[in-house]
Structure 1
Amino acid sequence: MYDSVKLTKEFVKQKLSGDSSGHDWWHIERVYANSLQIMHETTEAVQKEVIELAALLHDIADWKFHDGDETIGPKIVREWLESLQVDEEVITHVCQIVKDISFKGAKVQVAMKSLEGQIVQDADRLDALGAIGIARTFAYGGLRGRELYNPLIEPKIHETAEDYKSQQTTTINHFFEKLLLLRDRMNTPAAKNLANERHEYMVEFLENFFHESHQENSLHYKWLSKYR
């Protein structure tokens, strides 16, 4: 019988190593570690294999890098897990998590359908917060050619996934449009505790950013008061 987790680690590492967008192998490794930490602090019974495989495969083909196609990730996941002869129930579960995991807009709520999915989603969102989240945000913004900051461009609270996908934004606006919202969208008690400190670190960073930019009277600085 194949060691599905070990082989999946090797597969994903080969695919994502060297990525410069913040969605590289080391992001996957951190999400995997976060998932195990949250799982161990969860009192309810969960399927460990599902959590491990979903954590490892959640960004194997992110829609952001495939013209907004949300089907390609689950498709690649299914093909890979079938090649390892993983049980169909596990494959279906992992594919569902990969399909539902991503943030799709401030006003778009896609509830994870299982505790395993909630754990992996929380683990992924934790890596979008704190010092690492800040670093990843600027890496991705640079890759996309986004302006660092423009005080004339107001953040948007996106109503639909399509609006979120097609947005023209700045890197600093991304904090308001997604990252500062994540703390209150954690699913599990363990993740909520971990998210608090990382959220506060991001708020402090933004306060310093606006101070150094002489933008304490800006709309963005006023928005920040909502998230302290």
Structure 2
Amino acid sequence: MAYLETDAQLEAVRQFTKERMADDETGHGFDHIQRVVNNVKLLLARETGANQLVTISAAYLHDVTDDKLVEDVTAATNELKSFLTNTGFDDDQIDEIVFVIENMSFSKSLNGGTPKALPIEGQLVQDADRLDAIGAIGIARAIYFGGHFGEKIYDPEIAPREVMTKADYRDLSNETIINHFYEKLLKLKDRMNTKAAKEIAAGRQQTMLQFLDDFKAEWQGTK
């Protein structure tokens, strides 16, 4: 596939995603998408063996059929497949992009199930997405998301959940923003797939741990 054709395809994918995520108010808007794309390009420069068109396209599209963001996943998926066909992607590329975005979320590890093995393209996109959930940006997104859904900031009487089903994970009725760090965000460092992502995640983990230490000290009036 010629470079200019690939470049045009990626621009079409970017515009498709931008239109669908423009009104998001949960921390999954196009600014998040663009950071994930930037992350995946950073990882692609350090990891080998991935198809760049599929990887970058999946990075752009990873939230457009997410069941927590769209009302009708089947309709959104069919629309995506039609768009990719009309944009010149072949069947194998479309199948891989859809497989990646359907199987990369943290929730796939819940309910006691074993997530499906992702190809290297999916591993890179999953890492890029998870990197945007941790560190300084991750802190801001957790607060933004929790505020949008009316979560408490913190309640020391509510312990983080150790075991969750997908239904539990999506139930925010007794959730706190701080507990989300312990239930998910602090776990992501050890779930990175690639060496490059693991190295980046180590520094972002320390940012979150320092924030939590400072937050609790200020909450308790000891700092």
What TM-score comes out, normalization by structure 2 length?
0.88
Aligned counterparts of 1:61 and 1:28: Cα–Cα separation in 2: 13
Which shifted more, 34-43 or 77-86?
A: 77-86
Which shifted more, 5-14 or 15-24?
A: 15-24
* Cα shift at 1:125: 0.1
Ranges of 4+ aligned residues in structure 1 off by more than 6 Å: none
**Partner secondary structure for residue 64 of structure 1:** coil
Q: Is the 8 A contact 2:63 2:69 kept in 1?
A: no
Q: Quick one: which of 56, 59, 63 aligns to 1:55?
A: 59
Q: Quick one: which of 141, 150, 161 aligns to 2:155?
A: 150
Aligned counterparts of 1:215 and 1:54: Cα–Cα separation in 2: 45
Q: How does 1:180-191 map to 2 (within 5 A)?
A: 180-191=186-197
Superposed CA deviations along residues 11-60 of structure 1, whole A, max 9, x for unmatched, are 111222353321111111110011111111013x2111110110000011
1:122 maps to what in 2?
127
Give the AA of the match of 1:122: D
Q: Quick one: which of 190, 210, 220 aligns to 1:204?
A: 210
1:65 maps to what in 2?
69
* Cα shift at 1:143: 0.8
Q: How does 1:44-193 map to 2 (within 5 A)?
A: 45-66=49-70, 71=74, 74-104=77-107, 109-168=114-173, 169-193=175-199
**Partner secondary structure for residue 62 of structure 1:** coil
Pairing 1:37–2:42 present: yes
**Partner secondary structure for residue 106 of structure 2:** coil
Q: Is the 8 A contact 1:149 1:170 kept in 2?
A: yes
* Cα shift at 1:185: 0.2
Aligned counterparts of 1:132 and 1:36: Cα–Cα separation in 2: 18
Q: Which runs of 5+ in 2 are unaligned?
A: none
Q: Is the 8 A contact 2:192 2:198 kept in 1?
A: yes
Q: Which runs of 5+ in 1 are unaligned?
A: 217-228
How many residues are matched? 214
* Cα shift at 1:215: 7.6
Aligned counterparts of 1:199 and 1:86: Cα–Cα separation in 2: 37
What TM-score comes out, normalization by structure 1 length?
0.86
* Cα shift at 1:81: 0.9
RMSD of Structure 2 on Structure 1 (CA): 2.1
Give the AA of the match of 1:48: Q
